[in-house]
């Protein structure tokens, strides 16, 4: 079956520090990969996505590259802000076949950015 | 409405009671999903509705859980004879078509259920 493993938190960084949150996956087919973010008191929001190998998703200064050879989709940001404090979820969905509408999530990584 | 709306936002119930959680998806979205977010467990898929097709109920954890979607819009998730392990955040989401077609899925803020 499909699975997503992401680094456990919590992660605490100072403002303007470099962020990496590791994510690796196991899938039977060729999935699409996603990062979702959950800000305090809000619902999950799509942050970025990549649908095929070597694609780079980017949004709000965050980037992640779909690496098929290492089955990874690590999230990076060069300079974090206090407003980036949230829980980040890596997820995948199969591009075809039964259950392709399902998202399989990692357990989430809580990021706290201090001034 | 502008987004996926869920109610109640918080519910505390006694063990053994039944609860109903409601989801109002984004207008025009044909696909509707329920997920459960338990402490330390991440998000689990529960059920998926797409248009008039039979729902995929494969993620429902037991026969105490059921869901329906009336008129292709509002959905209700029902948990009968609640147990303490049912305590979680129940998230509803919707999309215009399936995410396997590249559509973005939009989540509600969730219903926090506590069984005491």
Given a cut of 90, whether residue A102 has pLDDT beyond it is no
Question: pLDDT band for position B70 (50/70/90)?
Answer: confident
Is residue B13 within 8 A of residue B113, CB to CB? The reply is: yes
**Residue A106 pLDDT:** 93
Q: How far apart are CA B98 and CA B104, in angstroms?
A: 8
3-state secondary structure chain B: CCCCEEECCEEEECCCCCEEEEEECCCCCCEEEEEEEECCCEEEEEEEEECCCCCECCCCCCCCEEEEEHHHCCEEEEECCCCHHHCEEEEEEEECCCHHHCCCCEECCCEEEEEC
Given a cut of 70, whether residue B24 has pLDDT beyond it is yes
- Chain A positions with Cβ closer than 8 Å to B: 32, 36, 41-46, 51, 89, 93-96, 99-108
Collapsed DSSP state (helix, strand, coil) of residue B31: strand
Q: How far apart are CA A106 and CA B78, in angstroms?
A: 26
Question: pLDDT band for position B99 (50/70/90)?
Answer: low
The pLDDT tens digits for A17-31 are 999 999 999 998 789
Chain A contact for B108 (CB, 8 A cutoff) = yes
Given a cut of 60, whether residue A39 has pLDDT beyond it is yes
Distance from CA of A43 to the nearest CA of B (A): 4
Structure-token pair, residue A13? 């960084």
Q: How far apart are CA B92 and CA B76, in angstroms?
A: 10
Given a cut of 90, whether residue A41 has pLDDT beyond it is no
Question: pLDDT band for position A99 (50/70/90)?
Answer: low
Distance from CA of A88 to the nearest CA of B (A): 11
Q: How far apart are CA A99 and CA A80, in angstroms?
A: 35
Q: How far apart are CA A22 and CA A24, in angstroms?
A: 7
Q: How far apart are CA A51 and CA A65, in angstroms?
A: 10
Q: Give the mean pLDDT of chain A.
A: 92
Task: Work out the average pLDDT over A77-103.
Answer: 87
Structure-token pair, residue B12? 């505390």
Helix (H) or strand (E) holding B88: strand B88-95
Task: Work out the average pLDDT over B46-74.
Answer: 91
Q: Is the dihedral of CA B41, B48, A92, A90 positive or negative?
A: negative
Given a cut of 80, whether residue B9 has pLDDT beyond it is yes
Structure-token pair, residue A93? 């969905």
Which residue in B6, B43, B94 has the most chain A C-beta atoms within 10 A of its own C-beta, making it the best mutation to test that interface?
B43
Task: Work out the average pLDDT over B20-49.
Answer: 91
**Residue A108 pLDDT:** 93
Structure-token pair, residue B110? 């969730």
Helix (H) or strand (E) holding B92: strand B88-95
Asked if B91 lies within 8 A of A43 by C-beta distance, the reply is yes
Given a cut of 90, whether residue B19 has pLDDT beyond it is yes
Chain A contact for B91 (CB, 8 A cutoff) = yes
Q: How far apart are CA A80 and CA A49, in angstroms?
A: 19
Please list every residue in chain A whose beta carbon sits closer than 8 Å to the beta carbon of residue B33: 101, 103
**Residue B1 pLDDT:** 52
**Residue A96 pLDDT:** 67
Q: How far apart are CA A105 and CA A2, in angstroms?
A: 9
For residue A41, give the chain B residue with the closest CA. B109
Given a cut of 90, whether residue B4 has pLDDT beyond it is yes
Given a cut of 90, whether residue A87 has pLDDT beyond it is yes
**Residue B110 pLDDT:** 94
Name the residue among A32, A43, A102 with its Cβ closest to that of B45: A102
């Amino acid at each position: 079956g499909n699975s997503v493993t992401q680094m456990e938190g919590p992660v605490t960084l100072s403002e303007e520090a470099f962020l990496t949150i590791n994510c690796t996956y196991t899938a039977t087919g060729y999935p699409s990969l996603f990062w979702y973010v959950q800000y305090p008191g809000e619902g999950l929001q799509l942050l970025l996505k990549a649908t095929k190998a070597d694609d780079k998703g980017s949004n709000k200064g965050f980037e992640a590259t779909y690496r098929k050879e290492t089955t990874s989709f690590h999230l990076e940001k060069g300079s974090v802000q206090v407003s980036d404090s949230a829980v980040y979820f890596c997820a995948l969905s199969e591009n075809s076949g039964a259950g392709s509408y399902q998202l399989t999530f990692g357990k989430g990584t809580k990021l706290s950015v201090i001034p | 409405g502008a987004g996926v709306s869920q109610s109640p936002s918080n519910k505390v119930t006694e063990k053994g009671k039944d609860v109903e959680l409601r989801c109002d998806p984004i207008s025009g979205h044909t696909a509707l999903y329920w997920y459960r977010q338990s402490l330390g467990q991440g998000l689990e898929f529960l059920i998926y509705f797409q248009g008039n097709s039979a729902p995929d109920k494969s993620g429902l954890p037991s026969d105490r859980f059921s869901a329906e979607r009336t008129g292709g819009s509002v959905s209700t998730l029902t948990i009968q004879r609640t147990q303490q392990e049912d305590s979680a955040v129940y998230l509803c989401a919707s999309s215009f078509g399936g995410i396997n077609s590249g559509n973005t899925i939009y989540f509600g803020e969730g219903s926090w259920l506590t069984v005491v």
